[in-house]
Chains A and B, each alone.
Chain A
Amino acid sequence: MKISHRTLITGLAATGAAAPAAAATAEISIAIPQLKVAEYHKPYVAIWLEPATGVSARTLAVWYDADNREDAGQKWLRDLRAWWRKGGRTLKMPANGISGATRAPGPQRARFNLGALQPGAYRIVVEAAREEGGREVVTLPFTWNGKGARAAASGSSELGAVAAAIRP
């Protein structure tokens, strides 16, 4: 039941075979769609890395209303439901190097140091939830062989094109 953040990271490192882990960097682009709605709020977005088994997620970024008075934006972090369950609830917010402000519609880019990554099957998951709007999860599966990998997918409502390039 209880999953500490430390075991999440260990879990990731333990994935894969005996091949040496190679440091990896991920460049992720996320299109946040422009929506013609009466009341628009920029979505909360969580980005995380998990082995293909789905357990042991590592949060890469959370964009939320961190500047909200008294950090009240935290109240809605649980609406990023998958991320909340997979690891969000174990993080202390705001989290240095992980949490940031919500982003405007348009192409958004972010770069993450994934650290030493064992060869194996992984996925990068992007989840978006919007006030007065919907929620969507887009998954980018990739196989890491130490050299490089690319993955792309597209959302249909709260997220547009999402792509990741993972490099040593």
Chain B
Amino acid sequence: MPVKRLFVAALLLAAAPAGAHNLWIKPSAATVSGEDGWVSFDAAASTDVFVADHQPLRVEQIKAFTPDGSEARIENGITGRYRSTFDLHLTKPGTWRVAVENAGLQGSYKLGGEDYRVGGRPPGGPGGMRPAGAPGAAAANARGPAGGPTGAAPPQRPGMTGKFVPGGPDFVLPAGATDVKLTQSASRNEVFVTLGEPTEIKPTGKGLEMVPLTHPADLVADAPGRFRFLVEGKPAANLEVRLIPDGKRYRNDQGEIVAKTNAAGEVSVPWPSAGLYWLNATYQDGTSSIANASGRRFNYVTTLEVMTP
């Protein structure tokens, strides 16, 4: 089974099924001083977060944004065997964002006696997300049309059949389609780095997102970090938020912290110590604002640097 080529896809949208690999972006520093500054990033998917021992996250999937939200240039990108690495030149003060984001529909339908699968990565395309409801039949390594649009595109997986249809914003369900199983999917994996004075992190109102009540540049080990989670702009109540500290290799336990949001979507996280933390939350329900979608599934990941007081 070609696990190697599939891993990122499986994770981008990952609701972290058992045994899944975790996608992470690790900044060399989240706080930078000076007239300008550089931050170097590692990005990969692996079982233990921040341990590059499985697969790189592709540099082409990663975007960077200046404090005012305009797209910034990623420099010196290299995809290695276990992790990719790239640099970001912080040329003005404020909070910059580096992110891998995907959104679209996933699933399947039938038309004229043929199976179609929506979303996922066309063979040979860049990694994307895993279809939520892949029809299970033989035809391992069946290949769909090449050249996929949208970032929301996972690979052809063994056991998956049907003709590939992109699940991006242009998707329209053809008239006469039957057996429609579509899920709205969105994933965001982002990291904030700040040069000088931090600037506000504004919600987009899309997918599952974190709005810091404690700015990532203000996280200190002796004060809990407070965050608000939103689903499509509305408070994500009772959401389970998981955090894993860096350095798993040098301890016995996972060290996972699990916290739940309150009715306002807010969560308070006490830090066992200063260090780097991987934060993940997944939201899933049976509603969607998108036509023909019977549910939605959102994933959020960020990396937080907590300083000594």
* Interface positions of A (Cβ within 8 A of B): 1-3, 71-72, 74-78, 81-82, 84-85, 88-90, 135, 137
Contacts and interface: CB of A to CB of B under 8 A. Distances in A.
A30 B124 CA distance: 64
Given A1-B198, A2-B200, A81-B308, A74 B218 contact: no
B199 A78 contact: no
Given A72-B34, A77-B34, A85-B218, 14 more contacts: A1-B200, A2-B198, A2-B199, A2-B200, A75-B32, A75-B33, A78-B29, A78-B32, A81-B308, A82-B309, A85-B307, A89-B31, A89-B194, A89-B197
Interface in B181-212: 194, 196-200, 212
B195 to A, nearest CB: 9
Interface residues of B, number: 21
Contacts of B198: 1-2, 89
B215 A78 contact: no
A118 to B, nearest CB: 26
Given A2-B197, A2-B199, A82-B309, A75 B218 contact: no
Nearest to B213: A1
Interface string B212-223: 100101101000
Main SS of the interface on chain A? helix
B114 interface: no
B253 interface: no
Contacts of B199: 1-2
B33 A89 contact: yes
Nearest to A80: B33
A82 B32 CA distance: 14
B35 A74 contact: yes
List the 6 closest A-B pairs by CB distance, nearest first.
A78-B33, A74-B34, A77-B33, A1-B215, A75-B34, A78-B31
29 contacts: A1-B198, A1-B199, A1-B200, A1-B215, A2-B198, A2-B200, A71-B34, A74-B33, A74-B35, A75-B33, A75-B34, A76-B33, A78-B29, A78-B32, A81-B31, A81-B308, A84-B31, A85-B217, A85-B218, A85-B307, A89-B33, A89-B194, A89-B196, A89-B197, A89-B198, A89-B217, A90-B196, A90-B197, A135-B308
A2 B215 CA distance: 9
A84 B33 contact: yes
A87 to B, nearest CB: 10
B37 A85 contact: no
A1, A74, A84, A85 — most chain B CB neighbours (10 Å): A1
A102 to B, nearest CB: 16
Nearest to B309: A82
Contacts of A2: 197-200
Contacts of A85: 217-218, 220, 307
Nearest to B93: A89
Given A2-B199, A81-B307, A82-B309, A71 B217 contact: no
B29, B31, B215 — most chain A CB neighbours (10 Å): B31
B215 A71 contact: no
Nearest to B30: A78
A1 B218 contact: yes
Interface in B62-113: none
Given A2-B199, A2-B200, A71 B308 contact: no
B29, B34, B200, B309 — most chain A CB neighbours (10 Å): B34
A1 B212 CA distance: 9
Contacts of B309: 82, 137
A128 B217 CA distance: 20
Interface in B276-309: 307-309
Contacts of A81: 31, 307-308
Interface string B8-51: 00000000000000000000010111110100000000000000
Contacts of B212: 1
